[in-house]
Amino acid sequence: MPWKTEHRERSFAHTFAFGSLLAASCVLWMPAAQADLSELEGDHGHPSQTTGTPSTPPAQPIDDGLSCPGDSPCIETATQLTLRVLPRPFSNIYQEPVADGGAIVQANPPAFRPLYAFERRDIDLREGAEPRGWYRVGRTRTQADGWMQAKDVFEWRQALLVSFTHPGDPIEGRHPVLMFKDRETLQAIVDDMDMAASAQALYDEIDRGGTPEAVISLEPKRFVDITTHFYMLPILQWSQTQIDGDDVRLLQLASAVPGARGADTLQTPEYREQAQTGRDTADQGIEDIAVDIVFVIDTTRSMQPFIDMTRDAVARMARNFSERTQDRFRFGLVTYRDSLEAVPALDYLTRNHTPTLVTAERLAEILDTDAKATRVGSLGYDEDVFAGVDAALRQSPWREKSIKFVILIGDASSHLKGDAHNSTRKDETDLRREYDDANVHLLAIHLQNPKAAEDFPRTLQQFGTLARIRGNPSEQALEQVDTAQEDAYRRLVDRVTAGINTELERTLAAKAPVAPTSPGSATSPTVPGTPPAETPEVLSSVSGIWQAALIEYIGQSANPPKDIVAWSLDRDLINPADRALEVRVLVTREQLSSLAQALDSVMQALMRAEVTQAQFLESLQSVSGQAMKRPDDLAQAQRLADTGLLPAFIQSLPYRSDVLALTDEMFASMTAEQRAQLEWSILAKLEQYRAINDQVDAWFRLNDTDADSDMVYPLHIDYLP
């Protein structure tokens, strides 16, 4: 097996390494947009706990790197993080550190739901699966509830977990994650010369109703989105190998769903039935499906003919609605131009013409009366496309649980991140990540003026990233048309609007959505039902985003597994190039707020250093020293990570950050463009933190007694500085 390499073992507390901003100053492991489990690296020295044969050498008794005052949770002295533990299923909380059945305070506390640890007594983890000692634990920071045996909990020192990726369509998408009883069985499959065949045999056995001895459970075939249906898959330990030269990880995971109890295994009929329900099959509720479409249109000088043709296409779409679809669609319109600082006569940068989503007929009227192209020229050919895309996401009054689309229509690229005229401080990768988190899908139409051919590559790269089809990143919902061929544009926009209507008709007629026969197919097959007598050919771009959105919609009725400990691969077992799990960090509102405040100070220091020609750390001391608990740390620091400015939870996370590594020497050696990129990247993250904080429904309580400040959000690790 020449493509397999020597394995490396790590416990859950060991390092994730991620490159981010400064290629000139630090090795870039991979682009920030792809940061994930493939970037595990390093060793923080915390002992591992296992449920089987330990994969690491026996640990010495845990070193007391904790301060446990008794009346409040233990604090890890190096990071100032509170110590939390994850209860195993069917454990108990006792009144005293004695396993006396008559002194049980709480039997079977929710499995893998974090508890605060107030005290550790006689802890010894050298026995691997049977650690000795006791933890005094509590659901809140203010009061301990009792004692738990060390063998009944896992220490969870970093709030790292994984989530399932979007699985893609039922035919070409990835396979569900299998959850194995032990690492050895999973390792044997990964090491098999015909890994795909070994894995396929397990899937086939499960599909036939069998229960492979080595498989505990599996991910539901339908998509369970952690941002809308919160669950926890904390990493307990992991090992590393390679497949075809690509790093992959074998992960031991716990699983928990707040508010739900009971182990979900293949032996559990109810769970098995719902987990095996295909992502092309909907439960009750598909009859209520609704569709929101927001157009984002360039209204600079060259765009008026295309605005008019879009208006006509929307009007024709309205006339073609059936009784089943006419009340399900609502529309929005956001228009954009360019920087008013550069050209004040442009009148506006972005405008939301639909503070309330409207009918197709009303949108046609708005396009006719309000969405007029300016007669004033922009400063250059590129425009602030990203401002329009950002405004559509944040300002549109999306309906709850609707399928959400943005149709971007423009003839020029957007200002790059770092350009003074880029008002959002973001790029296409930032916006694509935010669209994914919001379950909004974008189709882009690039109007190509042959006179501006030099702008095509940048526009196609930006529009293509924005229009990436979720669950199938190699496919893009991107259409191109020559501006000289107005009839071609008219036909294209008709096919886009009619195609979405047709897909909705098919979904309602079949009462069970189906996937396209293959990527890029022109039409989607139907299942028995009463589809429209004549259905127009559907563009593959429309079909692709419809299927991706529909899989998310159907997944609302799926439930992730809970109350088990198992081993899984972070890739598709049959197609290892497909990522199955991605890393997130669980943050509280308080932590996100403190991170934002710290980054704001870093931003001020960067700008001050630029103006005064002072060293970066000297500027940082001047803008933030008085607000720090230990200002001497800043004066003695050699790099940003040593200043004590950033929240402790960030410095405790096992990932590599070029921002944290920033030194005076690195800052001095950076070009003006690199400094601008750094500043704008930080500003983009600050805007993202603000947006996340404002999303009321995005925050979750792990325990019913948690205060609002302790509510959590599963932050994608790419959002970290």
Does the pLDDT of residue 683 top 70, yes or no? yes
pLDDT recorded at residue 709: 79
pLDDT recorded at residue 23: 27
pLDDT recorded at residue 259: 77
Q: What are phi and psi of 463, to 5 degrees?
A: -65, -40
Residue 551 CB contacts under 8 Å (≥ 6 apart), including other chains: 166, 167, 168, 169, 222, 223, 279, 471
**pLDDT interval class at 238 (50, 70, 90):** confident
Among the ranges given (11-20, 221-230, 621-630, 657-666), the one the predictor scored with the smallest mean pLDDT: 11-20
Among the ranges given (192-201, 466-475, 695-704, 712-721), the one the predictor scored with the smallest mean pLDDT: 695-704
**Which of 34-48, 252-266, 289-303, 613-627 tops mean pLDDT?**
289-303
Q: Are 248 and 240 contacting, i.e. CB atoms less than 8 angstroms apart?
A: yes
Q: For the range 129-136, what are the long-range contacts, defined as Cβ-Cβ under 8 Å and sequence gap of 24 or more?
A: 129/49, 129/50, 129/51, 129/52, 129/53, 129/54, 131/49, 134/97, 135/85, 136/97
Alpha-carbon distance of 554 to 541, in angstroms, equals: 20
Does the pLDDT of residue 342 top 80, yes or no? no
Q: Can you state the angle between helices 589-612 and 672-694, rounded to 10 degrees?
A: 160
**Owner of token pair 């890029």:** 520
Of 528, 547, 539, the C-alpha closest to 469 is 547
> What 8-state DSSP symbol labels residue 242?
E
Of 171, 167, 168, 403, the C-alpha closest to 285 is 403
Among the ranges given (275-284, 400-409, 519-528), the one the predictor scored with the smallest mean pLDDT: 519-528
Mean pLDDT of 254-271: 88
Does the pLDDT of residue 303 top 50, yes or no? yes
| Coil/strand/helix, residue 624 | helix
pLDDT recorded at residue 144: 93
pLDDT recorded at residue 280: 78
Does the pLDDT of residue 684 top 90, yes or no? no
**pLDDT interval class at 129 (50, 70, 90):** low
pLDDT recorded at residue 510: 74
Amino acid at 313: A
Q: Are 8 and 43 contacting, i.e. CB atoms less than 8 angstroms apart?
A: no
pLDDT recorded at residue 677: 81
The number of beta carbons lying within 10 Å of the beta carbon of residue 316 is: 16
pLDDT recorded at residue 652: 63
Alpha-carbon distance of 561 to 264, in angstroms, equals: 5
Alpha-carbon distance of 339 to 345, in angstroms, equals: 10
Alpha-carbon distance of 395 to 335, in angstroms, equals: 12
List the structure tokens of 84: 């939390």
pLDDT in tens, 213-224: 999 999 999 999
Three-class SS of 570-622: CECCCCCCCECEEEEEEEEHHHHHHHHHHHHHHHHHHHHHHHHCCCHHHHHHH
| Rama region for 563: left / alpha / beta (φ>0; ψ in -120 to 50; rest) | left
Among the ranges given (187-191, 393-397, 713-717), the one the predictor scored with the smallest mean pLDDT: 713-717
pLDDT recorded at residue 276: 93
pLDDT in tens, 630-669: 545 555 666 676 666 677 667 666 666 667 778 888 888 8
Among the ranges given (506-510, 535-539, 584-588), the one the predictor scored with the smallest mean pLDDT: 535-539
Q: What are phi and psi of 297, to 5 degrees?
A: -125, 135
**pLDDT interval class at 284 (50, 70, 90):** low
List the structure tokens of 357: 């989503």
pLDDT recorded at residue 654: 61
Mean pLDDT of 704-712: 79
CATH of domain 286-485: 3.40.50.410
Average pLDDT value over all residues in the chain: 81
Question: Which H or E element spans position 665?
Answer: helix 664-669
**pLDDT interval class at 79 (50, 70, 90):** low
pLDDT recorded at residue 83: 86
List the structure tokens of 49: 């706990």
Of 254, 265, 258, the C-alpha closest to 110 is 258
pLDDT recorded at residue 508: 87
| pTM score | 0.82
Mean pLDDT of 107-130: 83
Alpha-carbon distance of 541 to 479, in angstroms, equals: 8
Pick the more confident residue, 132 or 295: 295
pLDDT recorded at residue 460: 97
**pLDDT interval class at 446 (50, 70, 90):** very high
Among the ranges given (142-151, 357-366, 460-469, 693-702), the one the predictor scored with the smallest mean pLDDT: 693-702
Q: For 297, how many CA atoms within 13 A lie in the half-sphere containing its CB? A: 28
**Owner of token pair 């979900």:** 264
Of 76, 25, 48, the C-alpha closest to 656 is 25
Q: Are 253 and 236 contacting, i.e. CB atoms less than 8 angstroms apart?
A: yes
List the structure tokens of 696: 């009321």
pLDDT in tens, 552-594: 999 988 999 998 889 999 999 999 999 999 988 888 888 888 8
Among the ranges given (379-388, 576-585, 616-625), the one the predictor scored with the smallest mean pLDDT: 616-625
**pLDDT interval class at 475 (50, 70, 90):** very high
pLDDT in tens, 169-186: 888 899 999 999 999 999
